A and B are shown apart, each in its own frame.
Chain A
Amino acid sequence: MTLNGWLQIIVFLALILLVTKPLGLFMTHVFDRERTFLDPVLRPAERLIYRLTRVDETREMRWTEYAVAMLLFSLISMLVLYLLQRLQGALPWNPQGLPGVEQGLSFNTAASFTTNTNWQSYVPETTMSYLTQMAGLAYHNFVSAAVGIALAVAFIRGIARREKETIGNFWVDMVRASLWVLLPFCLVGALVLVSQGVVQNLKPYDRAQLVDRNVTVEVDKKDAAGNPVKEIQPVTEQTIAQGPVASQEFIKQWGTNGGGFFNANSAHPFENPTPLTNLIGLFSIFAVSAGLTYTLGRMTGSQRHGWAVWAAMAVLFLAGIMATYWAESRGNPQLTGTDQAASAAQPGGNMEGKEVRFGIANSALWAVVTTDASCGAVNSMHDSFTPLGGMAPLVNIMLGEVIFGGVGAGLYGILIFVILSVFVAGLMVGRTPEYLGKKIEAYDVKMAMLAVLIFPLVILVLTAVSAVSPDFGTSQLNNQGPHGLSEMLYAFTSGTGNNGSAFAGLSANTSWYNTALGFAMLAGRFLIIVPVLAIAGNLARKKPVPPSPGTFPVTTPLFTVLLTSVIVIVGALTFFPVLSLGPIVEHLLMNAGQTF
């Protein structure tokens, strides 16, 4: 670990701290339908959309209606993306002449982008046409993020409202999230990225002759008997993929999507060319989610509660970056006789699978940020991290994608934990637990537990099935032993958490993994959203209890500690056994001299 590395981490967190209030305030105005500086341009566009879609922007919805609208909208967008992939061979903007996508992969990708996961079982530059990328994937990058923000706002309204049946209008929330919170920032952001060298074109791929004629590549092949073997092939030419990258790149982070235009994602120089774009990327992953904590405080009239939630997120973020940065800087103890210390000449530590442009600090930081926030964009190979360095991103996702989290999803996710914390600890002050004046009763606890159950259910069961199924489960692993377990576990955790980053080391483009992961992503999104909305609707109906010295305080550092502990304990208790057989034992074995 270096001072320079830590400074970069601190600067990043300081930027997030700075953006929280202005962005949160802006979103409060947007969703309270108050005036903002963008209104002169956006209001006419908004009205036009409502006129065309016949939406009455003043009509409010009950939570059930809100949920049905959201589910129908998601279902239809998912179908459209599915069809677009299947039919892309016959559609325009396909200069590479890429064929229609296979059905299992199409389902997986449609589920992936609808749920804001952006898990990619495919290599984009050789699979998706420009039309599919722009009209299919980029479209979902916007609307899946907008849906997340809308849901978070609906949840906040549920807490803030008193004795109301409704929690807002889904269409209005979504349109306003897209027009105000996503589009303008992406417009500016994309141009900034172009200025840094991110490409934006519709050209066919370039080809370049290699200057060095002695380049070879190892290719996985199967021999006559069907056993996997490696074959060495010479390389003389390089294909340089092109495309409308910048327009997709900014929303990839700003909407915590993470689906790369290229397979190498943010490690690709066309996606993330400079240290500045790297910082912009990191910043835009957390920005909206951090801002929403301020919106929470503002709308519920308890600004300090918003900051207490922010602080809990920040504490968990710091724990993650400390663990990862430490583990990666430490390198591999088995590489004796090699200088792994950081110096002016080398980044030191475990550089396998990392971009030399980013080094240890920025790779570790990106890995932590992208998994904290269910973004899933990567600028290094998590599979190549040390066992503990790779465990931190995995645990980040397991905790529920609530450390700032996906746009909107992070906030409503952490609010579930807030409700559980308030319930258990609230009992300890001798009153029926209440959260910002709303009594937390059996129904709310039931819904919160339903939401919390989804993670262990989907992640553990699907990973367990894969672990004991040699035909379709373990056969796709690149590594055996504990590391192989981590690879499967990471895939299902990433899918269920709607993160989308790949640990890699697992060939997931098979019918089992495509289907199971597709299911995991849908369950991880919608099976959590429905109970979340149910809680919002139920809270909105309640009559608030005025605060008194006997009220459980949700604004104090003690509350932050409590919330942090509940998140860690629930996550740890659920996943400790499997982690102990995965990264933990791998770490201990590595120290004892055995690697996988």
Chain B
Amino acid sequence: MAEKSKKISIWDAKIIRRALLDSFRKLNPRVMMKNPVMFVVEVGSLLTTIQLVRGLVAPVPSVTDTLFELQITLWLWFTVLFANFAEAMAEGRGKAQADTLRKAKTETIAHRLLASGQTETVNAPDLRKGDIVVVSAGEFIPGDGEVIEGVASVDESAITGESAPVIREAGGDRSAVTGGTRVLSDQIKVRITSNPGETFIDRMIALVEGAERQKTPNEIALAILLAGLTIIFLLAVVTLQPFAIYSHAPQTLFVLVSLLVCLIPTTIGGLLSAIGIAGMDRLIQHNVLAMSGRAVEAAGDVNTLLLDKTGTITLGNRQATAFIPVGGVSESALADAAQLSSLADETPEGRSIIVLAKEKYGMRGRELAPHEAHFIPFTAQTRMSGVDFDGREIRKGAVDAIERYVSELGGSAPAEMREIVERIAKEGGTPLVVAEGRRPLGVIYLKDIVKGGMSERFNQLRRMGIKTVMITGDNPLTAATIAREAGVDDFLAEARPEDKMALIRREQAEGKLVAMTGDGTNDAPALAQADVGVAMNTGTQAAKEAGNMVDLDSNPTKLIEIVEIGKQLLMTRGALTTFSIANDVAKYFAIIPAMFMLAFPPLAALNIMNLRTVQSAILSAVIFNALIIVALIPLALRGVKYRPMSAAALLRRNLLIYGFGGLVVPFVGIKLIDMLIHAVGLA
């Protein structure tokens, strides 16, 4: 876990240094064009710069105010640079992570298996899809692939940051291995499944670096809105000059560009791409790789969450919770027998029986070796296990198996036992019957344990308008009990993969968006069908390819966090857009009276902030407009705080903070800046 705590901070000095440099590199107009709002600012800055230089070369002393013009020009450039800096900061952590990943991609040597059975040594980049390589302990796995023979423990910390080794074995759902990870023990044969440049690590580098970043649907829609607003303000400012001329109060280029830059939504325009990048980055910090930003946005829209019962809602294994004796047997005798029969049982259920006996009856695990104990392992034929020692024959197993065993020995099960077994089944538990010889001793109550805090989370999801559906292979009775206990809205019992698929299709037909997690090859079609399909990193290659996200921690509960991150991403954009537009009101009250107070002195009535001079009013508005971008970078990177609540409550809250706040803050900010620059004597 040491590596995991070594998360890179956003405020790492190295990241900031690189971001500062990048903000200048991003001034390239071809890059700026992608962001129409900031491109307008750049063009404006360029125009004022040219005008400034012309003024310096051929000054008209009575008209020009060089100090003011210089300051305006500088602050306009700062506005562009600050926006670039925000974007560079958002990219920073990803870039740093990409560097680390690249190191993991060091040139490895592979042992390719030839048809003859011999191996040849080749460089990893020469491997192609379908090649088979042998990897031994201590070696790096040369490419993505599937284990076709053997089992090994693998260190995947290069990708997941998790230093505990994981088991990879041929067949089943744990066969996928990733290039750049290291085999710690044993030897495996791996069939390579991707060509160089298309490997998981390559994709991951591209993702964290943001190289493949495409604008997401909502981002495009918002960019259109912002471009539209920019055009409206462009019209308002460009036509203001004729009106000013009509009113005998023509304005200088510096003032007009200042007004324009203050009005167009530079705050959100400058932070928009940073928000998107930061959203993806937040997912990566949660060890989730989203294959597209579209998937992250879709996560915010999810209406239905499909959650596998085992491992997600319940702890994954049934646990013994009670011993229920029958036929006058004492509870401790039953516990004793149950514990004895489970001493050699390595299954989680078996271990939980020992633990329960220990906790409830103080029975310590005993050493049976001196007693010449003989353990009977569980088989599919007998469907029971047990122990023979000191002449005692203790068996435990499914009710029908034990009944048969007992009756073969001439005993019989009491009616009360049947009742207990039925009751347990009805309650969603699993009954295990214990017998000693021909005498049934009682029933062990095995129960699915719902993880702590789950019903709380499902409640939150319900408030967010998200329906949770539990998927389980259990019978409907058991499923219903667990569903009730966990607080999910619905369940799908005795679910086969095709049932899951049908459920997803049905939900989607109603217009709902469905999210699910999965790891097996069986899950692949459903993962592909779901709007958000999160594949577990431990899962098969097929599952990973079908989903649109991969959870490196293989933690199915993370789906809930993913939904929250998706929502946060949209909320941050909406909040900053509202804030940005609300800001304009104050800027109008700063700049418009300043522009026309000389021609129409009574307009001073609109100068409600009581700004000192014409120059200082305009300058303050421009400075505020630039600084607010910097001030909001942390918010853009962190995202607006998301609290699970109804949309109506959320809207009220955010409108108050970002709408009303956006109205008030600039009045205060501009006034303060005005006082400051007046005190310093800059205007």
Contact = CB atoms under 8 A, between A and B. Distances in A.
Interface stretch (B190-198, B240-248, B337-345): B240-248
B247 A545 contact: no
Interface in B235-285: 235-247, 259, 263
A191 to B, nearest CB: 47
Contacts of B220: 442
Nearest to B297: A432
A425 B225 CA distance: 13
Given A424-B574, A427-B570, A577-B237, A442 B217 contact: yes
B189 interface: no
Interface string B555-598: 00000000000111011011101100110110010001000100
A553 B232 contact: no
Contact of B655 (A428, A431, A465): A428
Interface in A449-484: 449-450, 452-453, 456-457, 460-461, 463-465, 467-468, 474, 481-482, 484
Interface of B: 217-218, 220-222, 224-225, 227-229, 231-233, 235-247, 259, 263, 297, 300-301, 303, 462-467, 510-513, 566-568, 570-571, 573-575, 577-578, 581-582, 584-585, 588, 592, 596, 600-603, 605-606, 642, 646-648, 650-652, 654-655, 658-659
Contacts, number: 217
Interface string A472-504: 001000000110110000000000000000000
Contacts of B606: 580, 584
Given A428-B650, A430-B567, 20 more contacts: A427-B574, A427-B577, A430-B642, A432-B570, A437-B511, A442-B221, A445-B222, A446-B221, A482-B247, A484-B246, A485-B247, A549-B464, A550-B646, A575-B236, A577-B237, A577-B592, A578-B236, A584-B603, A588-B600, A592-B602
Query: Which of A430, A442, A465, A481 counts the most chain B CB atoms within 10 A?
Result: A430
A420 interface: yes
A446 B651 contact: no
Contact of B301 (A424, A425, A432, A569): A432
Interface of A: 420, 423-433, 437, 440-442, 444-446, 449-450, 452-453, 456-457, 460-461, 463-465, 467-468, 474, 481-482, 484-485, 543-546, 548-553, 556, 558, 562, 565, 569-570, 572-578, 580-581, 584-585, 588-589, 591-592
Contacts of B582: 569
A538 to B, nearest CB: 13
Contacts of A426: 574
Contacts of B510: 546
A553 B647 contact: yes
A431 B575 contact: no
Contacts of A420: 225
B225 A449 contact: yes
Query: Which of B221, B303, B584, B648 counts the most chain A CB atoms within 10 A?
Result: B221
Contacts of A545: 303, 511-513
Interchain residue pairs A-B with the least CB separation, the first 3: A550-B465, A427-B574, A430-B567
A474 B245 CA distance: 12
Contacts of B303: 545-546, 548, 550
Given A467-B243, A558-B651, A580 B603 contact: yes
Nearest to B509: A543
A431 B224 contact: no
Given A431-B301, A445-B221, A581 B239 contact: no
Contact of B511 (A440, A464, A544): A544
Nearest to B223: A442
A569 B567 CA distance: 26
Contacts of B263: 573
A316 to B, nearest CB: 18
B206 to A, nearest CB: 25
A570 B225 CA distance: 12
A460 B584 CA distance: 19
Contacts of B567: 429-431
B242 A464 contact: yes
B221 A578 contact: no
A496 to B, nearest CB: 13
B600 A589 contact: yes
Contacts of B511: 437, 543-546
B564 to A, nearest CB: 8
Contacts of B221: 423, 440-442, 444-446
B225 A429 contact: no
Query: Which of A426, A433, A450, A460 counts the most chain B CB atoms within 10 A?
Result: A460
A574 B651 contact: no
Given A420-B225, A428-B654, A485-B247, A580 B571 contact: no
B246 A474 contact: yes
B246 A431 contact: no
B560 to A, nearest CB: 14
Contacts of A461: 235, 239
12 contacts: A429-B574, A432-B297, A441-B221, A545-B513, A549-B465, A551-B647, A552-B651, A556-B648, A558-B651, A573-B236, A580-B603, A592-B601
Contacts of B237: 577
Contact of B462 (A549, A572, A573): A549
A118 B236 CA distance: 27
A460 B217 CA distance: 32
B655 A581 contact: no
Contacts of B566: 430
